[in-house]
Structure formats: structure tokens, C-alpha cells
């Protein structure tokens, strides 16, 4: 099936966010360790990024590691951090040549030094690219992000720098500052939950859930999600007749 031809490329989301889930189950199904699944997940990231660029998506945010994921066995956490460093080192040149700008959201200071260094170098190396921004959510959780924002805002109010707290003020204290809210949120692996991801930013996002496990997610799966998105009527609290 030619899914791409069914997409109106002039009306694709500017920002797609993905909860990449199911690496562990995918690996288990093939009789391998969980890390085997995470390794294969990198290929899905490559494919998804290519498809997003074809669709003129400007921001692709990927949930790569949550604050809750520290509670996994040490071997898996170490393996994931190592995979992050290796993948960045291997891919950054090619990413940059294809116009990808790298950004992160989350508590980056809480990551191992080696990750922080590799991330800082990759962000600097790709900073002038304009095709698409790849946002990696690392050591991220919404409740951490919102708590952090509230603390910063409270300080400003206390010092007299701020007298009124607006919606915009709150947005500007989140790690997603400057990034438009995602129009489309995808979660793979058949789970129907948000797991502490972008709670503020998805206020009006469309959700697409798929049974596909992340290492099996390929270009066609992104096309299908966008076709689903384009079939929705986004009413933003209004009635249908007001939208035309
Ligand atoms: C998603 O896959 C990747 C991360 C959370 C880092 P999982 O590792 O959660 O895979 P499942 O859900 O256990 O199958
Ligand atoms: C969400 O997946 C986090 C990432 C994809 C990084 P999890 O696998 O950690 O979520 P839960 O535990 O099933 O909710
Ligand atoms: Mg999972």
C-alpha cells in the first residue's frame, strides 16, 4: 500500500512526539536480552527521522529515557547510556549533513558526564541546521519539569521580578521553551498511557496508539500515524461549523 500518496504534505504536523515503547518485549520475543531491542530501536529512529523530514515535519521529539527509568536494573541503565553515547558519536556527522539540529529536554545535568559531553558536542555541531529539529527527551518527566518551572517562577515572584503568572510564563519555564506544542503524539507497543511525558504540552495534541513495537516501527508506521491525524477534526473547544 502506498501510504505516502494518501498524505497531504502541506498539512502535516509541525511537531510529532513519540513514546518509543516495546524494545524489551521485542527482544524477548526473539529470545534476546532487552538491550538487543534497544540497539535495534536506533534503526527505527533513523527511519522515522527520514520519514518525518519527507513530510516536512519541523520537530520530532523522542522519549528516550524517563526519570522513572533509573529504577530499571543497573545493567540496562548503563547499556542505555552507553548506547546513547555510541549512537551520537556514530551518527552526528550524517545527521548534520542531512540538516538535522539536535536538542534535548529533561534534566540533562543528571546524566553521566560522558553523555553530557557527547550531547553538548552534538548540539553544538548541529546548531545551525534547519531541516528538522530532533528533540531527545532524556532524564525527562513532566512532573519534574513542571515542579522545576514552579520553583523558578516562585523565586521570580519572591524577588519582585514577576507580578503576574500567565500561561505563557509557565510555558517559558519548561524545558520545551521555544518548541511548539506537538500536534500529534504517538505511542508504540499497545500501551495506552502517557507515562509522565509532556503533560502540559499535549493539552490539544491528537493521540495515535499502535500495537507495533518500537524496533518494528518504520517509515510506513509514521505515514499511517499522519494519515490517522489528518482524518481528525481538531475543534479546540469549538463546534464543527465554526471551523470552516
Ligand atoms: C522503550 O522500550 C525504551 C525505553 C523505555 C528506554 P522498553 O524498554 O520500555 O520496552 P518494554 O516496554 O519493556 O517492552
Ligand atoms: C516510557 O516507557 C518512557 C520511554 C519511552 C523512555 P516506559 O516503558 O518506561 O513506560 P511504562 O513504565 O510502561 O509506563
Ligand atoms: Mg516500556
Mean pLDDT over 96-120 rounds to: 98
CA 2 → CA 6, 218, 219, distances in Å?
7, 14, 11
65 lines ligand 1 (CB under 6 A): yes
Mean pLDDT over 13-28 rounds to: 99
Q: What is the mean pLDDT of the chain?
A: 98
Q: Give backbone dihedrals phi and psi of 83, rounded to 5 degrees, phi first.
A: -65, -40
The residue nearest atom 1 of ligand 2, judged by CA position, is 195
CB 20 within 8 A of CB 62: yes
69 lines ligand 1 (CB under 6 A): yes
Active-site residue set: 21, 69
pTM across the whole model: 0.98
pLDDT of residue 62: 99
The full DSSP string for 60-118 is: EEEEEEEGGGGGS-HHHHHHHHHHHHHHHHHHHHHHHHTTEEEEEES-GGGS-HHHHHH
Q: Could you tell me which residues come within 8 angstroms of residue 39 by beta carbon, excluding any fewer than 6 positions away?
A: 83
| 173 CA → ligand 2 middle, Å | 24
Pocket of ligand 2 (CB under 6 A): 19-21, 63-66, 69, 191, 193, 195
Q: What is the pLDDT of residues 203-227, one digit of tens each?
A: 999 999 999 999 999 999 999 999 9
The fold of 9-141+181-230 is Undecaprenyl pyrophosphate synthetase (3.40.1180)
- Residue 225: strand, helix, or coil: helix
| 152 CA → ligand 1 middle, Å | 32
Residue 91 has pLDDT above 90, yes or no: yes
Mean pLDDT over 141-160 rounds to: 98
- What percentage of the chain carries pLDDT values higher than 70? 100
217 lines ligand 1 (CB under 6 A): no
Atom of ligand 1 at shortest range from CA of 69: 5
Residue list, CB under 5 A from ion ligand 3: 21
Atom of ligand 2 at shortest range from CA of 140: 6
Amino acid at each position: 500500500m502506498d501510504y505516502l500518496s494518501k498524505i497531504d504534505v502541506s498539512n502535516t504536523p509541525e511537531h510529532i512526539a513519540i513514546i518509543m515503547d516495546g524494545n524489551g518485549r521485542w527482544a524477548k520475543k526473539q529470545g534476546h536480552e532487552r538491550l538487543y531491542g534497544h540497539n535495534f530501536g536506533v534503526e527505527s529512529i533513523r527511519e522515522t527521522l527520514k520519514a518525518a523530514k519527507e513530510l516536512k515535519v519541523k520537530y520530532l521529539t523522542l522519549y528516550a529515557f524517563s526519570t522513572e527509568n533509573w529504577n530499571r536494573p543497573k545493567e540496562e541503565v548503563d547499556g542505555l547510556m552507553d548506547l546513547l553515547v555510541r549512537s551520537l558519536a556514530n551518527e552526528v556527522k550524517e545527521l548534520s549533513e542531512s540538516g538535522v539540529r539536535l536538542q534535548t529536554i529533561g534534566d540533562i545535568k543528571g546524566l553521566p558526564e560522558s553523555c553530557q559531553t557527547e550531547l553538548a558536542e552534538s548540539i553544538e555541531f548541529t546548531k545551525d541546521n534547519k531541516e528538522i529539529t530532533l528533540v531527545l527527551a532524556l532524564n525527562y518527566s513532566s512532573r519534574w519539569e513542571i515542579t522545576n518551572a514552579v520553583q523558578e517562577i516562585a523565586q521570580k515572584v519572591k524577588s519582585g521580578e514577576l507580578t503576574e503568572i500567565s500561561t505563557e510564563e509557565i510555558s517559558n519555564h519548561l524545558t520545551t521553551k521555544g518548541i511548539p506544542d506537538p500536534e500529534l503524539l504517538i505511542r508504540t507497543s499497545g500501551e495506552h498511557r502517557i507515562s509522565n511525558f509532556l503533560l502540559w504540552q499535549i493539552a490539544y495534541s491528537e493521540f495515535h496508539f499502535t500495537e507495533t513495537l518500537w524496533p518494528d516501527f518504520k517509515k510506513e508506521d509514521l505515514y499511517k500515524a499522519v494519515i490517522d491525524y489528518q482524518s481528525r477534526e481538531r475543534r479546540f473547544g469549538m463546534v464543527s461549523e465554526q471551523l470552516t
